Amino acid sequence: MLIESSENFDFVKNSVMKNTSECPAFFDWNGYKYLIVGFTGYFRTIEKNSNDFIDASALGENIYDGLSVPMVAKFGDNRRIMAGWVESPWGWGGVMMQRELIAEEKGKLGMKWIPELAPETGSRNLINTEKEILNGINIDKFK
């Protein structure tokens, strides 16, 4: 689905996903342009050095990985880091997650753990479950 570009990104209003236009993250990378909007909006150009955007989320492309209103920043020579809030039972705030974006064929994006933030592998570590962590805490007062 090709959406004609415009100077003020009116094509976001025509998105199949009916997302909002809040918290836009616009960036270019390797000749492609990207616009991430709100909670599910993801638009990208279909060719290098083009201004014709497609509604990539409507095509099934998903780069959110549970993030809310992610932002993207340049990191190093040719890397991009995406960070956003993880949805929680308490609402906004709290946990922020970061992922490194991967440039795939024809402008598609993927993601991976950021090597500098990934723990070294070694002996097995026990991670408490959410139930064990919240044991005895009345989470209703945070809702």
Rounded to two decimals, what is the model's pTM?
A: 0.68
- Model confidence at 16, in pLDDT bands (50, 70, 90)? very low
- Long-range (24+ apart) CB contacts under 8 A made by 27-31 are 27/72, 27/74, 27/80, 29/78, 29/80, 29/101, 29/103, 30/78, 30/103, 30/107
Q: CB under 8 Å to 80, separation ≥6 — which residues?
A: 27, 29, 72, 73, 74, 100, 101
**Whether pLDDT at 2 is above 60:** no
State the Cα–Cα distance between residues 58 and 50, nearest whole angstrom.
20
81-140, pLDDT tens digit by residue?
Answer: 999 888 777 766 668 889 999 999 889 999 998 998 887 777 666 666 666 666 666 656
**Whether pLDDT at 47 is above 90:** yes
State the Cα–Cα distance between residues 21 and 70, nearest whole angstrom.
13
